[in-house]
Structure 1
Amino acid sequence: MPLVSVIIPAYNAEKTIQKTVASVLEQSLSDFELIIINSSSSDSTLNKISQIQDSRIKLFTYPQANASVNRNRGLLHTTTEFVSFLDADDLWKPDKLEAQYQALQENTEAVVAYSFTDAIDENGNFLRKCSHATWTGNVYPQLLLDDFIGSGSNVMVRRQVFREVGEFDELLTNAEDTDMWLRLAADYNFVPIKKVQILYRVSTNSKSSNILGSEASNLRIINKVFNNVPPTLKNLKSYRVANLYKYLSYKALTVEPGQQKTFHTARFLWMTIINDITIVKKMIIYKAIIKLIIMSILPKQTAKILLENFPKLSDMSTFFGYIKTEF
């Protein structure tokens, strides 16, 4: 029996699926099963997968559904003690499985292992450092503040705990991974691997680019979770909401001129201020307002040239420096 089950939900992933699968097949821990759930892709995803010959691959095709449904479908086919999930456009470093497996073997009280994540663009080029958190043991308070796991492609989990916490919430079309990590952290310990092992691909076609869907799903999760947390943790809600809107403001402003949703971007900035008034003392909020004005009132090409000539004005990554991660 393999040591680890890897689950990849795939839908119309023809541009990335082969590299994603290759990053699994090249793992230093080679004793795994790779379960690919093809969600009735209408492009050449199925053909791309079929070109890869490896006995560890188990391919299943189902009717089209969201990521939660497809992760749950994958769990039905697992046969191992440990499970990892990987989105069809993300990549792993070669030692990801081995390091996380070893961490869970050495820390028997932990049920989740996680690593550092960096963001890459559609061509695989480095964009920015993502979460490099090192919280260990009971990480629930920290995870209530900020989803430091960072993506659905990060963790390794002891499979039996899904019988306790349940499956992925199939009503969520965004942030279903955040919901699951919070449910796990409420009752179980986590252990970190202090190195970058996940490369999270930022794509205009990914579901994470749907900022309104992300807002709705995250607010639903936040409200659900904070309705049930101990009284001593309820004060963290406003910080979590502020963190959400800082992230949404960043996402909304990191698009080409003409692609921005002006009203919603202004609303995200306003909600950031309402939930964290200290942000008005920071230059980033004024840079964001100026950038939004430029993108909204100038012709697209003029705005693009202007922002390219002033890269410090265009760069919104400073928002991440004001995401609260400790209390």
Structure 2
Amino acid sequence: MLSIICPCYNSETHIVRLSDSLLSQIETTKPYEIIFIDDGSSDRTLELLHSHSILFKNKNIDIKIITQSHKGPGSARNLGIKNSKYEYIAFIDSDDIWYKNKINETINIITKYGNEYNTFVHDEIYKKSNGESLKITSGILISQNVSESLYKRNCLSTSATIISKKILVDTGGFDESLMSSQDYDLWLKISSKMKLYKINKVLGEYIESENSITSKYYLYRCFDQLKIAIRYKNFVNFHIFLIKVLKIIFSKQWIYGLSNIFTNKKGHNY
């Protein structure tokens, strides 16, 4: 039924928190597996994963731990997809968590509506590094055309999206050449095949941390977003394309990016 893929890189400060959220999941009658991909961590991430693997096995949860040299989250997720065995794929970043009803709730929805839909998304709580929290309402399209809507505004979050494995395999998965925004590029790439189902429940937390990819690499993100905007410009008219490019160019991310360079903030994890 469901393969859960979690890329990890230097995640020792929060991998236990994630593991605990997965271990606390309500039991479900449908099969699922959890695949951790360590992307060449230099800290205790891999050690902690192995030490916690016995806890998953004690609960009869199918778990795999795969390692590779450091290639980035896109490569790690693609490796997870390649090694998955079920027909639906869910992603979770190592610094996020799921609520205890996430797996059971989504499996029930997929079982009921899987013949009509191939992409499922739920809401999240966004916890900022400054302590603020706000609700992220995902899956709301602003245009009838999915590709156009996603181009105008990304309404999907990686840790809140479940997708048919067939679509991911058929379209080649994540673009490993991008240093950031690989998820947004993927959503646009598969958008023409998407049949989106919105789950109107908060089932997890998207957590920003000091060293996470959500708070660093702003400059690289700007360049990647420009690549993506140009790559899929045929989804919209020239006016919308131009507005998107200008928004990226004049984004505050440039300021954050330059600030990170001058303060030597180069490390990141996911």
TM-score range, shorter chain: 0.7 to 0.9
TM-score normalised to structure 1 length: 0.69
Of residues 231, 247, 252 in structure 2, which corresponds to 1:249?
A: 252
Of residues 116, 122, 126 in structure 2, which corresponds to 1:119?
A: 126
User: Contact 1:141–1:233 at 8 Å: present in 2 too?
Assistant: no
Partner residue, 1:147: 154
Of residues 55, 64, 71 in structure 2, which corresponds to 1:58?
A: 64
Of residues 236, 240, 244 in structure 1, which corresponds to 2:240?
A: 236
Question: Offset of 1:104 from its aligned partner?
Answer: 3.0
Spell out the pairing of 1:144-223 with structure 2 (5 A cutoff).
144-149=151-156, 151-208=157-214, 209-223=216-230
User: Contact 1:145–1:239 at 8 Å: present in 2 too?
Assistant: no
User: Contact 1:118–1:126 at 8 Å: present in 2 too?
Assistant: no
Partner residue, 1:267: none
SS of the residue 1:73 aligns to: helix
The C-alpha deviation readout for 1:170-221, integer Å capped at 9, x for no partner, is 1011000001111121222111111222311112212232110110111101
Question: Aligned in 2, Cα 1:259/1:139: closer, same or farther, shift over 3 Å?
Answer: same
- Rounded Cα–Cα distance in structure 1 between residues aligned with 2:22 and 2:254: 29
The C-alpha deviation readout for 1:125-154, integer Å capped at 9, x for no partner, is 5433334443498522221111111x3212
TM-score normalised to structure 2 length: 0.82
Question: Match of 1:46, as an amino acid?
Answer: L
User: Contact 1:6–1:32 at 8 Å: present in 2 too?
Assistant: yes
**Structure 1, gaps ≥5 residues long:** 263-327
The C-alpha deviation readout for 1:25-66, integer Å capped at 9, x for no partner, is 222254321100011211111121122121222111111110
- Rounded Cα–Cα distance in structure 1 between residues aligned with 2:24 and 2:89: 17
Give the percent of matched residue pairs that are identical in Structure 1 and Structure 2: 24
Residues matched between the structures, number: 251
- Rounded Cα–Cα distance in structure 1 between residues aligned with 2:94 and 2:102: 16
Partner residue, 1:9: 7
Partner residue, 2:266: none
- Rounded Cα–Cα distance in structure 2 between residues aligned with 1:188 and 1:138: 10
Question: Match of 2:100, as an amino acid?
Answer: P
Bigger relative contact order, structure 1 or 2 (CA pairs below 8 A, ≥6 apart): 2
- Rounded Cα–Cα distance in structure 2 between residues aligned with 1:25 and 1:43: 23
User: Contact 2:77–2:174 at 8 Å: present in 1 too?
Assistant: yes
Question: Match of 2:81, as an amino acid?
Answer: L
- Rounded Cα–Cα distance in structure 1 between residues aligned with 2:228 and 2:38: 27
Question: Aligned in 2, Cα 1:155/1:65: closer, same or farther, shift over 3 Å?
Answer: same
**Structure 2, gaps ≥5 residues long:** 263-270
SS of the residue 2:158 aligns to: coil
Question: Match of 2:36, as an amino acid?
Answer: I
What is the root-mean-square deviation of aligned Cα atoms in Å?
2.7
Question: Offset of 1:260 from its aligned partner?
Answer: 7.2
Spell out the pairing of 1:98-137 with structure 2 (5 A cutoff).
98-107=104-113, 108-122=115-129, 125-135=131-141
Question: Aligned in 2, Cα 1:63/1:27: closer, same or farther, shift over 3 Å?
Answer: same
SS of the residue 2:160 aligns to: coil
Question: Aligned in 2, Cα 1:99/1:182: closer, same or farther, shift over 3 Å?
Answer: farther
Question: Offset of 1:122 from its aligned partner?
Answer: 4.8
Question: Match of 2:240, as an amino acid?
Answer: L
- Rounded Cα–Cα distance in structure 1 between residues aligned with 2:252 and 2:136: 16
User: Contact 2:222–2:254 at 8 Å: present in 1 too?
Assistant: no
Question: Aligned in 2, Cα 1:158/1:132: closer, same or farther, shift over 3 Å?
Answer: closer
Larger Rg: 1
Question: Aligned in 2, Cα 1:159/1:29: closer, same or farther, shift over 3 Å?
Answer: farther
Question: Offset of 1:234 from its aligned partner?
Answer: 4.4
- Rounded Cα–Cα distance in structure 2 between residues aligned with 1:89 and 1:197: 15
